[in-house]
Amino acid sequence: MNKLPIVNFKIRSQNEFETGEMCYLEGDKAWMTISSTDLFADKRVLIFSLPGAFTPTCSSQQLPAFDERFNDFKKLGIDEIFCISVNDSYVMNAWSNYMGVKNVQMIPDGTGQFTRMMGMLVNKDHNGFGMRSWRYAVIANNLEIEQSFVEEGLNDSGTDDDPYIETNPDNIIEFLK
C-alpha cells in the first residue's frame, strides 16, 4: 500500500470547562465526521495503531512514549502524531483524558474500516476483544506512506503475542535520523 486509506472517522467532541470537568456536547455539535484526508493531507504525520485503549502495553508504554517524545519527532520533520485504535470515540476520549495526553491526537476507528484497509485488522477473540488492530506505525507525507513499521507475527491465531519492538518510538526516531 502506497497511500493511506480515505475513510471518515466519527469523533465525539468534548469540551473542558474552567472547572476542569469534561462536558460532552449534545445535538449537532456532539459528533464530527472527519476524513483521513482532512487529518493527514498536506503534512508529514506519524500514525501509530495499537490493540486497544486501557490495555497494558498500550497504556504503560506506547501511548505515553509517543506523547513524551513529540518534540523529538517535530525536530525530525513530523508535523503531527496520531494514535488510531479500533475503539469508539467515547473510549478514546476517556483514555486520552485518563492518560493526560497532550501531544498525540486520538482517532477512534470504531468500525475498524481504516485498520482493515491498512491490512492490519486481526481477530482478538481469544482476549475477548473481537476485531482489533495489530500494532503498527506509518510515516506518511501528504497521504503517501513513506515508511511502515509492523510488529512481527501479524496473526489471527489466538496467541497472546503482543510484540512492541518495531513500533517503539526509539526505533522510529532512529529511522528518521
Q: What is the pLDDT of residues 98-134, one digit of tens each?
A: 999 999 999 999 999 999 999 999 988 777 777 888 9
CATH code of the domain covering residue 47: 3.40.30.10
Residue 136, in any domain of the structure: yes
Residue 2, in any domain of the structure: no
Torsion of CA 34, 29, 104, 60, to 10 degrees: -120
Residue 96, in any domain of the structure: yes
42-71: per-residue pLDDT in tens? 999 999 999 888 887 887 789 999 999 999
Q: What SS3 class is residue 147?
A: strand
Bridge pairing between strands 131-133 and 44-50: unpaired
Is residue 58 part of the annotated active site? The answer reads: yes
CB 155 within 8 A of CB 165: no
Residue-number span of the structural domain to which 140 is assigned: 8-176
Residue 49, in any domain of the structure: yes
Residue 3, in any domain of the structure: no
Using the structure block, give the residue that is written with the C-alpha cell 476483544.
129
Q: What is the pTM of this model?
A: 0.89
Choosing from 45, 58, 137, 172, the catalytic residue is: 58
For the chain, how many structural domains are there in total? 1
